[in-house]
Structure 1
Amino acid sequence: MKYAYENLSPDQFETLVTLICQELLGISVQGFATGPDGGRDARFEGTAQLHPSISDPWKGRVVIQAKHTNGLNKSFTESEFYSATSKTSVVADEIPRITSLKNSGELDHYMLFSNRRLTGNGESEIRRAISSTCGVPSGSIYLCGVEQIELWLKRFRSIPEIAGIDPIDSPLIVSPEDIAEIVAAFAQHRDGMVSILDDPPTPRVDLATKNRLNGMSDDYSKALRRKYLKDTEQIREFLAAPENDELLSAYESAVDEFELRIIAHRKDYQSFDQVMDYLIDLLFERDPILRQRQHKRQTRALIFYMYWNCDIGAKGDDSVEADETLAS
């Protein structure tokens, strides 16, 4: 059973990681707390129950890190998370902390969890980089991606319920109040937006063409369709209802703002996957309503609807401009 880890809050993901580590290491794993330098980690001291094996468990002090991302289909080896040459990636930022803890005797073993995909080659490369830079033996470093998290949750079946996470296939329970709250939250930030509420409808191009024009990857598009395509008709019907004219206007204003932001920031991103993640992060950062757990999935569904309905992103009628943008 798969879970929508991207919809968890960082605190929820940390709780999930803590519960997994209590099974692997021991019940005395202490949950995440903010350290003097602003970093958050969990800790364990003693002899591990299961990790890396019952016959040869870790002994000593274990520091555990959890790095959550709102993005879909993210990997450990993307430059924002790890790059051999980057000094600003997530791993690069952690290396001085790991080194300091190692040198002060507070770290014998290190575990890094993230809701990102982790390949065998990527795991080996990152583990070697941390080991050589921080002086931690390679065998004392454990990296855990979303695939292994899924396996742990199958083995430790009580964890999802304790952590309060739901399966990815849970149906979207749509009510006018829920969607109205989301759209109203978009409308709260309309200062400086271009408000064009009577735009003529744009015919939908097929999704494959739209993905090509915008530079969205096949894997990302498939993930979006699998998760949110079933919600588009519900959203369309809600926005088309006569009693929701004001909310439709708010939606159109949000679309106008997004289009302006996409134009302004498109050159900063190599793919439209990253543009979509940028919009999601922007919304969650600026609005406390949208970053609440119960609203995160609905927000993502609405952003996908904007893309699927050709409200944002390059369309067939501006393919020349889109091709020039992608080529630049």
Structure 2
Amino acid sequence: MPDDFSKLGADGFESLSQALALCVLGPGLKVFGDGPDGGREATFDGPVPFPDPQHPWDGPGVLQAKYKARPGTTQADNRWFLGRVKAELEDWANPAKRRVSYGQRPQYLVFTTNISLSSTPGTGSKDAFDRLMAEYQDRIGLLGWRVWDAEQISRLLDRYPAVRTSYAGLITPSEVIAELLKQLTNPIAVNVASPTVTVNVDARERTIRPGEPGNEAAFQTTVDAVGGADLLGDPRALVEQIGDGYVQPFDGGLTRVERILCAPAGYPVVAMDRMVWDQIQAVGGRRGGVEHIGFPLAPATGRPYIGPDWTEILLVGGDWGRPFRDERRGRLVRRCDGSAVWQPDIVFDDEASRTRGWRVDSRTDAIMDLRLAVSGHVLIRGDDLQITDDGRERMLDAVARSGLDDFLLVLRQRYGGRSRSGWSEVDEEFRNTGQQATYEYLVAGPDGRTAIRAGLQIALPTSYSVDAAVMAEVRIDFDAIRPSTTTANGYTPVPGDLAVTFDEILAFLEAGWSVCTSGLLVTASTDPLSLVPAGASRIEFYIENERPVNMGDPRPRQLLEMVDLAQLGRARVRTARALAVGITSPIGLTRQQIEPFAADALDHLGRSFGFARAGNRGRR
């Protein structure tokens, strides 16, 4: 009877493929776990004892698993597999892909799949696979390849019984399991010899309990609170620990609606319909779910129950998001179409430095005086994301709606400058591709020199990355607006009326935050909220002096003369080179939703840099 791989799931099939590859290719195989892997489940660098010890593969190689969740007809399955292989080969052949530019092309490729490939000579998909690989042989530099389909994997499992045993519970055909269960659950008759009596002892015993030691009381409290067995029915399994929480399924009894009890460690247990649990587990795809986004919290009032009509679910734990007071918190929000969108809590931190040196124009002769920037990393999955011409138009429309264009207009009018072209693509090689968009907005001062240099940039994730790098910046050259001379104190003062005001700084932060977490993402999707998350996005806000004192610059500046931060209080540190704050943020927030948090971010910045009475100012 053939093995059944349908219960493995994608992660389980990858794990099975890795285990077999370790047996076949040897212990030198490097196995990759969850996370971005650049199209690799495992790699090796020969020699390896394959295809046979006398003719070993000797060179870099990659194992890639292709799992089809719902196999269909042989023709459709084979077409699906060959399409996936072709996509991988295209990526390996593309020098612009990070797996190539930052890695190494393989000389040997092994593909595994849970579908059965047809072996008809000449026309079967196994021969089609060989022909496809041969087409890319020279482009990639391949020396050898193999495919292990469902039949081949079954033969390998026969050869390596220890691997089969490890996965027996998931790959044993269901009819075999059913027969075993039938034998286990049938009454066992024990005949006691007696001249007059035969006693039948039913040895069946209920093995499902409400919980495991230490959990029964907490789970029982919620069982009673939501209606007991009338609503939940009987438990279908013992309590299972997943990540830092606990889960137990119930059959729903007479309601026939399966339900779940779960709780993050140290929190009350909450009950929910199975469909709600499935929605939570589906967030983030196969590398998401409660282990990453956190467990649902019980409602603050009423029954500890989440029904199918939920609108928002609070979450705690997981490894996505940034800890706040030793906890990661987030929420699921239900959209109009019924889909669930994960959002981390907005959290501020003092660790903003990762993107400080990033500029749209990084030439040394393009140095300005002041830089305002919002930049960071949006974590999303999808190696097929592309920046199209339509996406670029959507981006520029979204940037205008964010208020960034209005902010630039205010500065331009106040400084008496004139726009040269509006937003235009940066004309440098590889700055505008299918994966990257880079734009600048230049404003000339009274004497024709560039007085304002604004920039936008997004770099989409590649096949082995989940980071979309985003940036919105505005840089100002005050000397191109109104020249001044260096004083005896060693710096060049900025006239007070030219300093960027507090309200202007706040307006830029609101617009830049919106652009980086939504406006730039529309290059890849008409709806940023439809993108598959891979964690909490984090941006950094900078107010930066590009000409600090004592750094050898012929025209040094003082940061706090270029910006008016009096609303934050008295500055205790007068010579700071840069002020910054880190922000963990959801994607897809509107400008109106961002506004109150932007003010809080500036309060946090003020406290972090020692402004006296920071946090006590009035809101504008």
Q: TM-score, normalised by structure 1?
A: 0.48
Higher strand share: 2
Higher helix share: 1
Q: TM-score, normalised by structure 2?
A: 0.27
